[in-house]
């Protein structure tokens, strides 16, 4: 079984492709936990994979909570796969502290963190996706062979980033107050339906960000077909990214 979290589709694509190549099933973590904690059990001989995007050199909090609740029997094969724009830091090393990982891989995918940076150039997006498509074969073969392997692009100063900056991100950078919809909003509700943490509700035809669970996954701002969602003023002149929204990404 493969469990995934994804804001803008990169990790969903990787999870679904790995599921197809390994004959497994891919399930969305937010869908599983939306009505409360779900008991997940990995029995002896089973294979269990977690796929997630890297947020501030760590796994999203929701993913960490999900992993902490999994009970893993001896003899189960346990692995994780992350997607990141550039580098994963010690996201996997941290996960291993409370989730008995035997293997981990990273995929470099297009950047979606438009609150911090602009999207990648279209040519770079395509290059990353082409390289990821090729890497899927190697990683799925590793999973099928139940390899014990850590092939993760950690990047420089990984300890500092994961141990020091990541907690600061989780404490201070997940505010929803700067989100707003401009007059271009037509009330379609895609943002509400696509929010994995049910942070958005439509009020009088406009999105409102109503709780503290926001993961900053960037689904709402990147998916809005009218480009009507902004975060302060920083995103006004930045591009938007969603896996498959660039025609060359498809297929
Ligand atoms: C809040 C946030 C923090 C991020 N932090 C990192 C990071 O530390 N390192 C990195 O390489 N990419 C980072 N990214 C980029 C994403 O990990 C990358 O685009 C990922 O593939 C998105 O996956 P998704 O489409 O499944 O949501 C961050 C993105 C977001 C939204």
Domain ranges of the chain: 2-169, 174-234+241-249
* The predicted structure's pLDDT at residue 7: 98
Q: What is the pLDDT of residue 212?
A: 84
pLDDT > 90: what percent of the chain?
92
pLDDT at 34: 86
Distance 215 CA to ligand 1 centre (A): 11
Q: Residues near 98 by Cβ (< 8 Å), separated by ≥ 6?
A: 64, 67, 68
Q: What is the pLDDT of residue 251?
A: 37
Range 165-176 average pLDDT: 95
Distance 236 CA to ligand 1 centre (A): 20
3-state secondary structure of 219: helix
Cα 85 to ligand 1 centre (Å): 6
Note the CATH architecture for domain 2-169: 3-Layer(aba) Sandwich (3.40)
Whether residue 38 is predicted with pLDDT greater than 90 in this model: the reply is no
For the chain, the C-alpha Rg in angstroms (whole number) is 18
CB-based burial, 180-214: b 16+ in 10 Å, e otherwise? bbeeebeeeebbbebbbbebbebeeeebebeeeeb
Q: Who contacts 62 (Cβ-Cβ below 8 Å, separation ≥6)?
A: 5, 29, 30, 33, 196, 197, 213, 215
- Among 26-30, 38-42, 54-58, the minimum mean pLDDT is found in 38-42
Whether 242 has a pLDDT exceeding 60, the answer reads yes
The pTM for the full model equals 0.96
Expressed in percent and rounded to 5, the helix, strand and coil fractions of the chain are 35, 20, 45
Mutational test site, ligand 1, from 28, 84, 94, 161, max ligand atoms within 8 Å of CB? 84
Mean pLDDT across 79-105: 97
Q: Cα(30)–Cα(63) distance, rounded to whole angstroms?
A: 9
Q: In whole angstroms, what separates CA 107 from the centre of its chain?
A: 11
With a 6 Å cutoff on the Cβ, whether 194 touches ligand 1 is no
Q: Which of 224, 241, 223, 221 is nearest to 232 (CA)?
A: 221
| Fold annotation for 174-234+241-249 | Alpha-Beta Plaits (3.30.70)
| Residue 54, ligand 1, Cβ within 6 A | yes
Bridge partners of residue 50, in order along the sequence: 3, 80
* Residue 130 neighbours by CB under 8 Å, 6+ apart: none
The arithmetic mean of pLDDT across residues 51-79, rounded, is 96
Do residues 211 and 193 touch, judged by C-beta distance below 8 A?
no
Q: Please report the pLDDT score of residue 26 as a whole number.
A: 98
56 lines ligand 1 (CB under 6 A): yes
- Is the model's pLDDT at 249 over the cut of 90? no
219-240 tens-digit pLDDT: 999 999 999 999 999 999 999 9
* DSSP per-residue codes, 16-31: HHHHHHHT--EEEHHH
Mean per-residue pLDDT for 101-120? 97
Rounded to the nearest integer, the mean pLDDT of the chain is 95
Share of the chain above pLDDT 70, in %: 98
Residues 151-157: what's their mean pLDDT? 98
pLDDT band at 245 (very low <50, low <70, confident <90, very high): confident
Average pLDDT over residues 91-113: 97
């Amino acid at each position: 079984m493969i469990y995934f979290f994804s804001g803008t589709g990169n990790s969903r694509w990787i999870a679904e492709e790995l599921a197809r190549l390994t004959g497994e099933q891919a399930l969305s973590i937010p869908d599983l936990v939306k009505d409360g904690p779900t008991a997940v059990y990995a029995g002896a001989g089973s294979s269990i994979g977690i796929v997630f995007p890297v947020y501030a050199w760590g796994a999203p909090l929701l993913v960490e909570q999900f992993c902490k609740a999994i009970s893993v029997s001896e003899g189960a094969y346990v692995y994780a796969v992350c997607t990141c724009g550039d580098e994963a830091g010690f996201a996997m090393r941290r996960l291993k502290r409370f989730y008995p990982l035997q293997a981990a891989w990273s995929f470099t995918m297009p950047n979606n963190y438009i609150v911090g940076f602009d999207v990648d150039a279209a040519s770079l997006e395509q290059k990353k996706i082409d390289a990821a498509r090729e890497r899927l074969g190697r990683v799925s073969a590793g999973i099928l062979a139940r390899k014990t392997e850590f092939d993760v692009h950690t990047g420089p100063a990984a300890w500092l980033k994961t141990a020091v900056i990541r907690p600061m991100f989780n404490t201070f950078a997940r505010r929803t107050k700067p989100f707003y919809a401009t007059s271009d909003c037509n009330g379609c509700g895609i943002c509400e339906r696509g929010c994995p943490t049910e942070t958005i509700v439509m009020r009088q035809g406009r999105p409102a960000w109503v709780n503290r669970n926001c993961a900053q996954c960037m689904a709402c701002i990147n998916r809005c077909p009218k480009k009507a969602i902004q975060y302060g003023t920083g995103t006004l002149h930045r591009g938007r990214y969603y896996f498959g929204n660039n025609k060359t990404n498809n297929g």
